[in-house]
């Protein structure tokens, strides 16, 4: 379908913006321009309403243009638009840190603010190395990530990340090794957590044998991998990782940039899957995507280690941070967003509605033989599409474009379509999203 108004921009204006994680040449031939958003819908240049099937980029679980967040941001801009992040403070960062701790598992109550998920990952990894050095174990510097993991676009993130396309162009990164992913043959079409695959955690023992725990700082995994294709941990898998990390004195970091604050029908992935890590990275939903912000929650013992070994008290305990750490406008947006999640009782709603979502997405299987796997948890789903012409990412791209034409925004990445509707999505909206997706899948057979 060709849109009535492709763009009001000139070709030169389109060319001036080198777009992130976008096929720039294709986009600029056929721009998909969003002009506004409200509730669970975008509006494009043609005035079409488009359902937000990924809550922005896993950011906007509350939907768009939430009055309390808008108001908090507007008031904050008028009162304190910026405040130096180093050596001076403003009240809202402390209030937000306390509020974030209430969402974190018990003991993860020391919050370091960043500007994004990538910076949160960088922060967690730097703190892990520095922590061991402070404890007199400075050889513990290597990191273990996981195949298909995504930990942001920084050099540290791509190093521990395990999506091949994100790594191949960039040469050497941090010294990192990778666990296998947990999409185990035989677990396809599992609803929620698969019964098989836990043993893949034992690969950590082999990596420890190879590199020795005295050289390993931390293991970092997403409790549920989002960008890698919505990969749900098998039953017992995260527990086994925790056990091995404990036995070998290795920190366990959960990258919860997608899973924190409700997406799993729990406050965190840690709560959903019943495993408490040593640090949790977060971003996205903390401000409902309205203003960039990230954070890392650390166990108190990690924080105390820096405080107890910080030298004279006018000295920095850790020389680390960002100009936009704890930005006052982001803090105002964060306070309003987390309050809204609580007030609307949305985490319980996601949990209660998850079985409805699960049934809905798994219905796609029967009519669509090109689907090779469907995975789901909370308000998230990943659908794997069989490759065509030896190109795994071609069909997901075509399907996502067809969905856009039908009035639905979904994410495509590698061989998957990813779905993550806003937390208050109604059953009728789920049905219409999945029906449209069924139609777009059928077009692949024609």
Smaller CB separation from ligand PLP, 227 or 384:
227
Q: How far is the CB of 263 from ligand PLP (least distance, A)?
A: 11
Q: How far is the CB of 122 from ligand PLP (least distance, A)?
A: 9
Smaller CB separation from ligand PLP, 50 or 257:
257
Please tell me the distance from the alpha carbon of residue 134 to that of residue 399, in angstroms, as a whole number. 51
Ranges of H-type helices in 233-382:
237-247, 269-273, 300-308, 328-343, 346-362, 364-367
Question: For ligand PLP, which residue has the nearest CB?
Answer: 117
Q: How far is the CB of 256 from ligand PLP (least distance, A)?
A: 7
Please tell me the distance from the alpha carbon of residue 349 to that of residue 423, in angstroms, as a whole number. 7
Smaller CB separation from ligand PLP, 360 or 396:
396
Residues in Cβ contact with 307 at an 8 Å cutoff, skipping those fewer than 6 apart: 317
Smaller CB separation from ligand PLP, 105 or 115:
115
Q: How far is the CB of 281 from ligand PLP (least distance, A)?
A: 6
Beta-sheet pairing, 251-255 with 216-221: parallel
Radius of gyration of the chain (CA): 22
The answer to whether residues 394 and 388 touch, using CB atoms and an 8 Å cutoff, is: yes
> In the Cβ-directed half-sphere of 338, how many Cα atoms lie within 13 Å?
22
Binding site for ligand PLP (CB under 6 A): 116-118, 121, 150-153, 222, 226-227, 255, 257-258, 283
Please tell me the distance from the alpha carbon of residue 170 to that of residue 155, in angstroms, as a whole number. 9
Smaller CB separation from ligand PLP, 153 or 155:
153
Q: How far is the CB of 121 from ligand PLP (least distance, A)?
A: 6
Smaller CB separation from ligand PLP, 145 or 234:
145
Which residues pair with residue 255 across a beta bridge? 281
The answer to whether residues 198 and 273 touch, using CB atoms and an 8 Å cutoff, is: no
Q: How far is the CB of 152 from ligand PLP (least distance, A)?
A: 3
């Amino acid at each position: 379908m060709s849109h009535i108004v492709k763009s009001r921009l000139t070709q030169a204006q389109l060319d001036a913006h080198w777009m992130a994680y976008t096929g720039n040449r294709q986009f600029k031939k056929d721009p998909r321009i969003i002009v506004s958003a409200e509730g669970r819908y975008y509006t494009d240049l043609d005035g079409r309403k488009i359902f937000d099937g990924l809550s922005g980029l896993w950011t906007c679980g509350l939907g768009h243009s939430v009055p309390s967040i808008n108001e908090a941001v507007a008031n904050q801009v008028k009162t304190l638009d910026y405040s130096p992040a180093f050596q001076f403070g403003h009240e809202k960062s402390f209030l937000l840190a306390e509020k974030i701790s209430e969402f974190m598992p018990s003991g993860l109550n020391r919050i370091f603010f960043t500007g994004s998920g990538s910076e949160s990952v960088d922060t967690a990894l730097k703190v892990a190395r520095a922590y061991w050095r402070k404890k007199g174990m400075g050889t513990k510097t290597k990191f273990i990530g996981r195949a298909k993991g995504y930990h942001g676009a920084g050099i540290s993130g791509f190093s521990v990340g395990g999506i091949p396309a994100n790594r191949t162009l960039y040469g050497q990164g941090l010294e990192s090794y990778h666990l296998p992913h947990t999409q185990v043959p035989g677990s396809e079409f599992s609803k929620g957590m698969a019964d098989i695959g836990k043993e893949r955690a034992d690969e950590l023992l082999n990596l420890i044998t190879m590199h020795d725990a005295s050289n390993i700082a931390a293991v970092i995994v997403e409790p549920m991998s989002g960008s890698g294709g919505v990969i749900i941990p098998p039953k017992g898998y995260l527990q086994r990782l925790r056990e091995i990390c404990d036995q070998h004195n290795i920190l366990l970091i959960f990258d919860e940039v997608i899973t924190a604050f409700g997406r799993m029908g729990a406050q965190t992935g840690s709560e959903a899957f019943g495993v408490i890590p040593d640090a949790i990275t977060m971003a996205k939903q903390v401000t409902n995507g309205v203003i960039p912000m990230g954070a890392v929650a650390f166990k108190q013992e990690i924080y105390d280690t820096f405080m107890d070994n910080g030298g004279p008290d006018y000295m920095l305990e850790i020389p680390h941070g960002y100009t936009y750490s704890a930005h006052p406008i982001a803090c105002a947006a964060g306070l309003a967003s987390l309050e809204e999640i609580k007030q609307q009782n949305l985490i319980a709603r996601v949990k209660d509605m998850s079985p409805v979502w699960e049934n809905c997405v798994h219905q796609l299987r029967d009519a669509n033989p090109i689907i090779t796997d469907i995975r789901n948890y909370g308000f998230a789903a990943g659908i794997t599409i069989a490759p065509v012409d030896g190109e795994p990412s071609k069909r997901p791209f075509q399907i996502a474009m067809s969905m856009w034409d039908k009035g639905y925004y979904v994410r495509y990445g590698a061989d998957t379509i990813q779905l993550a509707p806003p937390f208050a999505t109604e059953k009728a909206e789920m049905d219409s999203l999945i029906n449209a997706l069924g139609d777009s899948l059928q077009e692949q057979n024609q």
